[in-house]
Structure 1
Amino acid sequence: MRQADPSFWILMLLAAVVATTPLAIDMYLPAMPMMAAELDAGITLVQQSLSIFLAAYGIGMLLFGPLADMLGRRPLAIFGLTGFILASVALSRVSSIEWFLGWRAVQALCGAAASVVVPGIIRHLYQQHTAKGMSYVSMIMMLAPLLAPAMGSAVIWLASWQAIFLFLALYGVIVVGCCWRFLPEINSDSARQRPAFFSGYVKVFRKKSAWPDIASSMFASFAFFCFLTAVSFVYIGYFGVSEQQFALLFGFNVLALMSANLLNSRLVVRFGPQRMLRFGLVVAIASVSLLCGFNYYGLGLWYTVLTIAPLMASLGLMATNADAMIIMQFPDNSGSATAVIGTLRFGSGALAGPMLAWFYTGDALPFSALMLTGVLAIGLSQLWRSIRRSKQLDPAC
């Protein structure tokens, strides 16, 4: 008999937990110029708060991933959300950029503690259909980056930039209350055995069969962060669209990501995560090749828009299925596996900005070329996976 899917409301709750990060990243972006003026800091220093957030989030994933396996997911989620609330309140009260940057790092660390538990819970609830569950959660969670910039602008219009962080604190209070009441506890064998802190990482890195999928997830994130870092310059600075048009175009790309996750949730049970990843890779190679060609010849805005949308959808498809295949290989160390994925993801994303600055030419070609590099690296990772598998199946090897 087919196992019934978990409650829709549990999936909504898990998505709400993960959404703390994109909300914290995207809601305050429209307020950066105002914050620079009020905190008496340069705009570049305020922008560094995003890099600090990403770096601290990656460190938090490394720190809290094994603790999720050792201590349990529900207590860690509640701890992380509580810290996120307190840090958000503190951010609304700062009067200097130094305190802002410090509390921003604390906010990221606590957000990592909460979100690192989610894939392990999904894996427990969905078992062999983990990719389906992750698609559902990702699809719901995508509402956060879709709405966050507009929400931040609305809060500034009604109040001030400090109110953005009070809103994040209120959001955290609602989510932690729901987690206290409804979030299930998932205990693994490793939790009962109290393993050493680094034993989970040792198991993850020793399992060579997971390496190609870890690399695929990392390079998909690199390509995605190339887009996220450069998109405002490409659309506003290079193609000259207005801020309102930019919001619509950005939302269009988020809708493409949501559509890909919806498609994956419907088809992955039938075709499996590996075939869905390969389908995404084919679409990505075709889309990014066209994107590079259009930007090389300096064609107009809509050529870029209509190739980025399927490219972003395919990156989401590949990342979701790669992550699911990784998590499925580590039922008792899903926290450590999630930490490895998250750290490599945000670490590779942190490289996007410096590389885009290094190859800056004033047009849209560098970002599309770097995205092409990321997609080709995914292709090489999956080729590596196929070669390893064929050697294992060959009795002569």
Structure 2
Amino acid sequence: MSLTPKARFLDRATPPHIATLILLAGLSALSMSVFLPALPNMTEHYQTEEWVMQLSVALYLGVNAILQIFIGPLSDYFGRRPVILWGIAAFTLASLACAVAPTPELFLIARMAQAIIALGLVLSRAIVRDMYPQDQAASMIGYVTMGMALVPMIGPAIGGYLNDLMGWQSNFWMLVVLALALFWLVYRDLGETHQGHQTSLANQFAQYPELLTARRFWGYCMAAAFASGSFFAFLGGAPGVGANIYGLGSTALGFYMGAPAVGYLVGNYISGRFSVRVGVNRMILWGTVVTCAGLLTCLILSYTPFDSAAVFFGFMCFVGLGNGMVLPNASAGMLSVRPHLAGTASGLGGAIMIGGGAILSAVASAASAVSVGSSTLVWIMLITSVFSVAAIVYTIQREKRVGAV
């Protein structure tokens, strides 16, 4: 057992309650997607092009990717608690700036600053690892991940409703209020769980070449990056497709945007239930194939009279399902390539995955803005998913040829 004292709720002399960690990770997930149904209204408000406002997804993801490289080492050096509290404070100010930004340029700058809340997901997992031994930590991280999976189901629906009721700015005012409440909760409940200063940032970066020369690490990274890339392409392109192609209002669009999260929840359950029995590699392969099969069917139907919002968004459940099977197992694969560099692998792998997602989100946003149907977006997602299949097939073959190298 860990020597960390038992958590007592609202006692910062002890580690945090698991509910605090779920809420911390949940705000990180909510900030990514809650405002998406309001993008058409935001475009009209700022009198700009649709693709400009859709950059709010890609730029957010890009900054998120960069921050993931630094958040872990900084928390190792300064401690989890101060990094989280300063990060939430910065996120609160950034959310306020989003709500009152007078120009699209200032809004996008504030939106990039919001990416600091990425520390919610990164450090909630790190804190669990501080508190519990390995096997128990895996179980507790599962609770945090499950809570995160629920947020994207309801977040866009809430955002769409608030947009119709009080305007798009209400989404960011809600984030301000939630961030203030979370700051209070973390201040009261989250005691420091990391003891002592660890390796410096310079030493952390000095370990990267050992990972970057490991082909299996790249295989798992690319499988995860392309699998999640199809979802990030959805985030970038689906608001435009829903509003412009299918004529959905904000509330309806918010409801439909939650479709991948339903599949992700099921995929997470399948991973937890069968990964040990089936094996990491086969689970990743099955997940990528499931995604491709769903997107291929959706693409075929997009050229028929059956094309509709219900069909398009319904088949996005397969993207979530595949991601739920791929991402936990690909993450485990990344960490297993060089076990003594697990922390470095986690940060670098996350940065590669989110960075690739940022690029695909921008491409999908631009494509959907000029598309006359949903097929363009589905093509982008399908091609991305095929690359994910290729990455895991390469990794499996590499492992068979030369072993764990």
Indicate the TM-score class for this superposition, using the shorter chain for normalisation.
0.7 to 0.9
How does 1:98-109 map onto structure 2 within 5 Å?
98-108=105-115
* CA deviation after TM superposition for structure 1 residue 180, in Å: 3.5
Deviation, structure 1 residue 217:
0.9
User: Compared with structure 1, are the counterparts of its residues 38 and 383 closer, same or farther at alpha carbon in structure 2 (3 Å cutoff)?
Assistant: closer
- 1-side partners of 2:77 and 2:337: how far apart? 18
Correspondence list, 1:181-330, <5 A: 181-183=188-190, 185-187=192-194, 191-194=197-200, 196=202, 197-240=204-247, 243-297=250-304, 299-301=306-308, 303-327=311-335
Report what 1:387 is aligned to: 397
The one-letter code of the counterpart of 1:120 is A
Q: Which residues of 2 match residues 1-397 of structure 1 at below 5 A?
A: 10-32=17-39, 35=42, 44-108=51-115, 110-123=116-129, 125=132, 127=134, 133-156=140-163, 159=166, 161-183=168-190, 185-187=192-194, 191-194=197-200, 196=202, 197-240=204-247, 243-297=250-304, 299-301=306-308, 303-327=311-335, 334-353=342-361, 355-356=363-364, 357=366, 362-393=372-403
Q: What one-letter code is carried by the residue in structure 1 that aligns with 2:330?
A: A
Paired letter, 1:91: C
Q: Is the alpha carbon distance of 1:203 and 1:74 closer, same or farther for their aligned partners in structure 2, counting shifts above 3 Å?
A: farther
Distance in 1 between residues matched to 2:133 and 2:297, nearest whole Å: 37
Deviations along 1:222-261, whole A, 9 cap, x unmatched? 1112222232344443345555543333333322222222
Deviations 1:154-175 (A, max 9, x none): 4445655444333212212332
Shift of 1:186: 5.0
- Cα shift readout 1:312-349 (whole Å, capped 9, x = no counterpart): 21123212221233245566655543332332223222
Deviation at 1:207, TM superposition (A): 3.9
DSSP 3-state at the match of 2:372: coil
Residues 229 and 43 (structure 1), Cα distance of their counterparts in 2 relative to 1, 3 Å cut:
closer
Q: Under a length normalisation based on structure 2, what TM-score does the superposition of the two structures give?
A: 0.79
CA distance in structure 2 between the partners assigned to 1:45 and 1:216 by the alignment: 29
Q: Percent identity between the aligned chains? A: 25
In structure 2, distance between residues paired with 1:305 and 1:33: 18
1:198 counterpart letter in structure 2? F
- Answer yes or no: is the 8 Å Cα contact 1:85–1:168 preserved in 2: yes
The residue identity in structure 2 corresponding to 1:389 is E
**1:367 partner letter:** L
1:362 is paired with a residue whose SS is coil
Cα 1:281/1:123, change in 2 over 3 Å: farther
Report Cα offsets for 1:41-82 as digits up to 9, x if no partner. Answer: 665544433333222222222333432344443332222122
Distance 1:378 1:340 in 2: 18
1:231/1:94 CA distance change after superposition, 3 Å: closer
Equivalent AA in structure 2 for residue 325 of structure 1:
G
Give the TM-score, by structure 1 length.
0.81
The number of residue pairs the alignment matches comes to 389
* Conserved? CA contact 1:27–1:164, under 8 Å: yes
Closer, same or farther in 2 for the Cα pair 1:10/1:384, shift >3 Å? farther
2: CA distance, partners of 1:281 / 1:47: 27
- Structure 1 distance, partners of 2:259, 2:175, is 24
Cα distance in 1 between the residues matched to 2:138 and 2:298? 28
CA contact (8 A) 1:123 1:327 kept: no
